[in-house]
Amino acid sequence: MMRFLLLFSRQGKLRLQKWFTPIPEREKKKIIRDMTTMVLARQPRSCNFLHWKDLKIIYKRYASLYFCLAIENQENELLALEVIHRYVELLDKYFGNVCELDIIFNFEKAYFILDEFLLGGEIQETSKQVVNRCIESSDMLQETMEEYMSKPAF
Amino acid sequence: MPTVSKGDGMRGLAVFISDIRNCKSKEAEIKRINKELANIRSKFKGDKALDGYSKKKYVCKLLFIFLLGHDIDFGHMEAVNLLSSNKYTEKQIGYLFISVLVNSNSDLIRLINNGIKNDLASRNPTFMNLALHCIANVGSREMAEAFAFEIPSILVAGDTMDSVKQSAALCLLRLNRTSPDLVPMGEWTARVVHLLNDQHLGVVTAATSLITTLAQKSPDDFKTSISLAVARLSRIVTSASIDLQDYTYYFVAAPWLSVKLLRLLQCYPPPEDAALRSRLTECLETILNKAQEPPKSKKVQHSNAKNAVLFEAISLIIHHDSEPTLLVRACNQLGQFLQHRETNLRYLALESMCTLASSEFSHEAVKTHIDTVINALKTERDVSVRQRAVDLLYAMCDRSNAKQIVAEMLSYLETADYSIREEIVLKVAILAEKYAVDYTWYVDTILNLIRVAGDYVSEEVWYRVIQIVINRDDVQGYAAKTVFEALQAPACHENLVKVGGYILGEFGNLIAGDSRSSPLVQFNLLHSKFHLCSVPTRALLLSAYIKFINLFPEVKATIQDVLRSDSQLRNADVELQQRAVEYLKLSCIASTDILATVLEEMPPFPERESSILAKLKKKKGPGKLPDIDDNRRNVNGSSEHSENTDTTSKASAHPFTDILNLNSTPSTGPNLLVDVFSDSSTSASVDVSEDNFSRFVCKNNGVIYENQLLQIGLKSEYRQNLGRIYVFYGNKTSTQFLSFSSFVTTSDILKSQLNVHAKTVDPVIEGGAQVQQILNIECVSDFIDAPVLNIQFRYGGTLQNIAVKLPVMLNKFFQPTEMTSQDFFQRWKQLGAPQQEVQKIFKAQHPMDTDVTKAKILGFGVALLDGVDPNPANFVGAGVIHTKSTQVGCLLRLEPNAQAQMYRLTLRTSRESVSQRLCELLGEQF
């Protein structure tokens, strides 16, 4: 089972956090701090795996963003790397050449896509087409841009 | 600010995010956020009812603020309102807010559940999915109570959409993990298994995750999944990659599903059905073969996915631990990876090999890679890879390569990363002790450890060397000489001064004959270090001085002068002052005889577990079961500390001890309370698990029992008629086990033959933690039955009862006996009476492999005699069974017939019952 997924920038700014088990807020903050310091300190060309407490940490950097996935000890490290990659592909497909800013400004979308892909710490759907179709069709359900844009900002 | 590419634009939200990003300082950011919070609060409190869009926008802003790391204490109600919106995006934001924030405000749970209920009933798959995602994300007990009955029916209903089935399966999985008691098994379970046959691979993948978790908890209910999983796996591995369309990932057919299926199969032993078994073996062989094929793509995703499946297949092979050919192939494959240019693969190969090293079939094959592993230790740039190399060296170490491995670890220690030094020190100390043939080597190794990494040598390590020296008189003179020489170095570590002080104080007399190490020289050498040392070391040195006064009357005056000096008698430290005063008085008043009695050499320490091992276990964190040849299925999967289970470890049971090990206070008799309860509440109701019993006939360590909650590992040592079993209870859950108790029951007959004394064990086991229980065993006379270990605890309110047949068999009390061919045949003749011989002819259950057979006979406890039998293909062994009342000599002969795939086993002992029992035990092993 996967325990959590964190996305953070090279400066250690957290961009997305997904927890698959209930963890107190204070503990979350500590974990986030541990992960950013640990992963950012890694030398280039090191392996992508770390042991941390009783978990395995799998991380990979895409452009300016680090993806950091914690899995339980009996899980498969290489496949976890591909979980990260598949998520990046999904974001890419949705945003069209995704960049950090897309995730900052459309954070809720990043969460929605993740929910279609992973659920309860397990993989839900591995097909890129199926996940994208899901997201697209939910977008279709949405009201048109114009309707919203006509509303006052705040 | 980028333009929003798709979907709805919440301009206000984008502006706000932009503002936050433009803040120059933390203060500015907080100011901006507080302004926004005030704004939202006033909107929510305002008289004017907000429309759905505004509500959504503000809730989304609150979520953003929360995710930035600020506390949010309002807005929950508005989020819950969004759930009942008809507009998808509003509903979606409402659910997201609840998923992220709900555990901090659960009094709204009834309203939330109501919203979920409506969406589940809506028959709109998109809404149903949102609701299911929310349940899976929150997973609280209240939700389990509300929906645990409903979700299974959604999952197995014929008309449910595929995507909803997937969500429902994982949702159920989540609830089962958090509140297993609320998810009852029912007629749906049988139908869930058949989802493995579903057309839609996404459904199969999700269902496999669910089934695996359920099967771990109640394997018997899901046995039918084995054949379905094998069939599915077989279809995937033999399919052309395009067949699976979008489930092919970079030319690898359904890697996620393959890995899930292989994991599911790891919940079970190898299939009993021969056809099924061979089909699975074919699958595994195909996967191993594919690793040798040229890659279909240069992309790393291709090789990662392909190797992910390969590693999982290897895990299954190790888990089954029954096909020597596959194990050796797996080992060779990992050997290739050890030199791969991908760092990730080298890392994983080292990690995987650790578990292989603990299988009796592949231990030798792993050992052939020793040079590569040592090279990795020296050349890898990445510390985590080097760490795995250290772990593997530790796992592959046995008597044959201990000197080399210890030497390499010692030299690595000089440049090792600070973060892992202490662990390496512990490992070196353990290996040096465990595999010491001559103890001069052991003493040298520990002194080297102190020299190279003194700061990382914990107390346990130097305590231990002293215990060993005290208990072994053949090494005392050498130890005294060696520490004396080591102390001559101009700068030596304080730990060395401690060891030196203690050892010279006890055994300095053994080297005092040499004028270069005369009593006065010894004393001056020690005292030259005195002023550089900390208070505890000085205290130890003072004790060494008073011991000197007893050993060497000629330096009495010198030492008394030192004790009398102001720096001692008036030392500011109370302990030092007291020692100086008392020792001085003692040396003045007491007669030589009294001095000699008071300051007599320390008596040998009673036998106890190495405190170093305990320390390493503690260091590696709770839940790790060290010293057990476990596999990736165990609590945390890690087995880097597995010892091999070869027979040499049994032969090296240590007569040493540990007075300084505080945690093993002698226990006083059996715990009466527990025993009283045991008779009434156990065996009657609980089935005794003996699944792994026969696997322990030829080995002493391993996992004896495992279910979803608990893993029980054993490590046993036997000497003559005494045995000690360390039982490790690993809590696999994240919740405490309460009222934990475990005790041993024996049948009435067995009671008079075998004494088993279990120490009490802590009644609470924290989530993820592991506790140890020690069982002391005494064999009174030969026996057939086995004692039963009964375990009781409370988990999440329900009382769990487990009973496990303990692998204490007669052959454990063997001492191997070496003898010449002539002696052997003479005794063979003496034991010629018909009732003394038992013979069994049987068909081979496993492939007939000479090395494996040898390992098993050694594991059985007898010495393997070479060159006795005229036919070199036969195996001959000899040993003595030690019981309290008597000793029974035993000769055995095993004759394989490769053509017929048969064995003939002959045992001769002086006692009929012993011959019978040994023949039964050994006859099942080949």
Residue A82: give its domain's CATH number: 3.30.450.60
Distance separating alpha carbons of residues B529 and B532, to the nearest angstrom: 6
Tokens representing B12 are 């206000």
| Chain region(s) in chain B for CATH 2.60.40.1230 | 693-808
Q: Is A100 on the interface with B (CB under 8 A)?
A: no
Per the CB < 8 Å rule, is A151 touching B54?
yes
Helix axes A107-117, A128-141, angle to 10 degrees: 130
Per the CB < 8 Å rule, is B256 touching A123?
yes
Q: Is B183 annotated as a binding residue?
A: no
The pLDDT, as a whole number, for residue A148 is 42
Q: Which residue of A has its CA nearest to B127?
A: A138
B256 sits in which H/E element: helix B255-265
Distance separating alpha carbons of residues B90 and B96, to the nearest angstrom: 10
Per the CB < 8 Å rule, is A130 touching B163?
yes
The pLDDT, as a whole number, for residue B746 is 87
Q: Is B60 annotated as a binding residue?
A: yes
Q: How many domains does chain A have?
A: 1
Q: Is B57 annotated as a binding residue?
A: yes
Q: Which residue of A has its CA nearest to B382?
A: A46
Helix axes B225-238, B255-265, angle to 10 degrees: 150
**Polymer length of chain A:** 154
Per the CB < 8 Å rule, is A143 touching B139?
no
Tokens representing B628 are 């057990």
Q: No. of H helices and E strands in chain A?
A: 6, 7
Range B114-138 burial, b when 16+ CB lie within 10 A, else e? ebbeebbeeebbbbbbbbbbbbbbb
Distance separating alpha carbons of residues B3 and B464, to the nearest angstrom: 69
CA distance A153 to chain B (A): 4
Structural domain of residue A128, as residue ranges? Answer: 2-150
| Chain region(s) in chain B for CATH 1.25.10 | 321-396
Closest to B218 (Cα-Cα) out of B179, B268, B145: B268
Contacts of B140 in chain A (CB under 8 A): 22
Q: Which of B198, B315, B636 is best to mutate for the A interface (most A CBs within 10 A)?
A: B636
B96 sits in which H/E element: helix B88-101
Distance separating alpha carbons of residues B818 and B797, to the nearest angstrom: 56
Tokens representing B237 are 């591995």
DSSP string, B622-660: TT--TTS---TTSTT---TTPPP--THHHHT----B-TT
Q: Is A148 on the interface with B (CB under 8 A)?
A: yes
Closest to A107 (Cα-Cα) out of B41, B61, B12, B94: B61
Q: Is B95 annotated as a binding residue?
A: no
* Low-confidence residues of chain A: pLDDT under 70: 140-154
The CATH label, of 3.40.710.10, 3.30.110.40, 2.60.40.1230, 2.40.128.20, for the domain at B693-808 is: 2.60.40.1230
Assigned CATH topology for domain B811-924: TATA-Binding Protein (3.30.310)
Contacts of A87 in chain B (CB under 8 A): none
* Low-confidence residues of chain B: pLDDT under 50: 1-7, 104, 622-685
CATH number of B321-396: 1.25.10
**Polymer length of chain B:** 926
The pLDDT, as a whole number, for residue B836 is 84
For chain B, the 3-state helix, strand and coil shares in percent, each to the nearest 5, are: 55, 10, 30
Cross-strand partners of B814: B881
The pLDDT, as a whole number, for residue B208 is 97
Closest to B234 (Cα-Cα) out of B285, B200, B304: B285
CA atoms within 13 A on the CB side of B423: 19
Q: In Å, what is the CA distance from B650 to each residue of B476, B647, B720?
A: 25, 5, 11
Instruction: State the Rg of chain A over Cα.
Output: 16
Per the CB < 8 Å rule, is B170 touching A95?
no
The pLDDT, as a whole number, for residue B347 is 95
- Is residue B783 within 8 Å of B895, Cβ to Cβ? no
Who's near B616: CB < 8 A, 6+ residues apart? Answer: B423, B426, B427, B430, B626, B641
Distance separating alpha carbons of residues B40 and B37, to the nearest angstrom: 5
| Chain region(s) in chain B for CATH 3.30.310.10 | 811-924
- Is ipTM strictly over 0.95? no
Per the CB < 8 Å rule, is B6 touching A94?
yes
The pLDDT, as a whole number, for residue B679 is 34
